[in-house]
Amino acid sequence: MGRVAGTPLLAALLASEGPSLFVRLLARLVDGLAHLAPRPAPPLPAGIAPAARGLLGHRAEVEAGRVAAYRILSPSAWNLAPGGLLERAFAALSPGWRTRWLAPLLVCAINPCVPVTLSFATEPAYA
């Protein structure tokens, strides 16, 4: 969402309803369409690169011409951390029968690069 949040459509939707599931899925579509007619992107700091799920960081410490330490900070690190984006998004879902339908869409919108297994504490109640 970060790459397209400033577009008029996404900016208006974010202002009116916040980063809802609909807005997140639409942002993925807009981001994909933007790659059909790419424009020059602003420069990023060294070691930072755009990735499908957000910014990807690489840091290497070199001593005597050899890599002494290397670290990758991927979007999954904060999206899947306790209290991170995925946990907060699940907490915002209203309990009910729609949760079983919306939860997989939410995972798709956040798009973690690790396997996610959904399980539900109770069977859905249908009215």
Please choose, from the candidates 71, 78, 101, the residue with its C-alpha nearest in 3D space to the C-alpha of residue 2. 78
The pair of structure tokens assigned to 127 is 């009215």
Quote the pLDDT of residue 46.
83
Of 1-10, 40-49, 66-75, where does mean pLDDT reach its minimum? Answer: 40-49
pLDDT per position as a tens digit, 35-59: 777 677 777 788 888 777 777 898 8
How many other β-carbons are positioned within 10 Å of the β-carbon of residue 113?
A: 12
The secondary structure of 62-121 as a DSSP string is EETTEEEEEEEE-HHHHHSSTTSHHHHHHHHSPSSTTHHHHHHHHHHHH--SS------S
Give the pTM: 0.59
How many other β-carbons are positioned within 10 Å of the β-carbon of residue 112?
A: 17
CA-to-CA distance for 80 and 114, rounded, in angstroms?
Answer: 9
**How much is the average pLDDT of 89-113?**
83
Residue pair 10/30 in contact by the 8 Å Cβ criterion = yes
Phi, psi of 104 (to 5 degrees): -65, -35
Residue pair 91/99 in contact by the 8 Å Cβ criterion = no
CA-to-CA distance for 35 and 42, rounded, in angstroms?
Answer: 15
Q: pLDDT band at 127, cuts 50/70/90? A: very low
Mean pLDDT of the chain: 83
